[in-house]
Amino acid sequence: MRETVAQFRPDLLQLATELVGTDPFARVDEGTRFAQPAIYGAALAGWERLGGHDADWAAGHSLGEVAALAAAGALDHHDGLRLAVRRGEVMQAAAERGAGGMLAILGEREAALELAHDHGLTVANDNAPEQLVVAGPEDDLEAARKAGRRAGLRAVKLPVAGAFHSPEMDAAVPAFREALAEVEFGEPRIPVLSCATAREFTSPRSELADAIVRPVRWRQTVRALRERGVERYIETGPGDVLRKLVDRNLDQEVAAHA
């Protein structure tokens, strides 16, 4: 990630280092405080590498919403980085006060939902028809993981130190609202879908704040893009996780109408 940002958006690398107090890429595995500004910078550097290609629509997964709004021109890129830094800080602090985590459940959807309900877990990411991510206390996650295995589901503990996109993040919301109040939002050049609502942003300040404790509805977001005629999807951030999730959602959509 760092090489891409250094080449295409050195200004973001310099500002991120100043805001965080250290190079966030060097400590990206130490927590979301460092990971969020690094990922934001990498997403916009990837956008720049494409030549700032104007898409017809934009969307982002979790933090990716901030990068999507910036790429679409609704938010100054440096202000977006400031939001990513602050978001990472307040979510890290909330995570450290709790004792929660996240678990990916792969397999039949209804069985996964039942497993989450039985163990009092929150659906944090609805990523694809056969991929849910749930959040909650560590003991409940471990119990769900073992029960899921017995039920024929694949349940994988995620390497994150917090129950993100769940009520455990409530404490992070007020401080992030304050940060959002300090930046200007304008009209985007292209429409941006919120992954928390699967609809176009209408009030980014309130919607981005609310999204911290709301589930990421990526399955519904991809479906909404498809319904709007989107046929080609480009992931600008690091890795190919979202591309694979788009493939899974669209394969399911095609199968449903075959």
Query: Per residue of the chain (258 residues), what is the pLDDT tens digit?
Result: 999 999 999 999 999 999 999 999 999 999 999 999 999 999 999 999 988 777 999 999 999 999 999 999 999 999 999 999 999 999 999 999 987 999 999 999 999 999 999 999 999 999 999 999 999 999 999 999 999 999 999 999 999 989 999 999 999 999 999 999 999 999 999 999 999 999 999 999 999 999 999 999 999 999 999 999 999 999 998 889 999 999 999 986 543 433
99-157: CATH number: 3.30.70.250
Superfamily per CATH, domain 2-96+166-256: Malonyl-Coenzyme A Acyl Carrier Protein, domain 2 (3.40.366.10)
Looking at residue 89, its pLDDT comes to 97
β pairing state of 131-137 and 154-157: unpaired
Active site annotation includes 119: no
Looking at residue 254, its pLDDT comes to 45
59 φ, ψ (degrees, to nearest 5): -155, 155
Active site annotation includes 165: yes
The single residue of 61, 77, 165, 166 carrying the catalytic annotation is 165
Rg (CA), the chain: 18
Whole-Å CA distances, 257 to 64, 82, 208: 30, 43, 34
Looking at residue 258, its pLDDT comes to 32
Looking at residue 22, its pLDDT comes to 97
pTM above 0.85, yes or no: yes
Q: List the domain boundaries for the chain.
A: 2-96+166-256, 99-157
* Dihedral sign for Cα atoms in the order 193, 197, 200, 206: negative
CB 201 within 8 A of CB 194: yes
The single residue of 62, 119, 166, 194 carrying the catalytic annotation is 62
CA distance 94 to 173: 10
Looking at residue 252, its pLDDT comes to 62
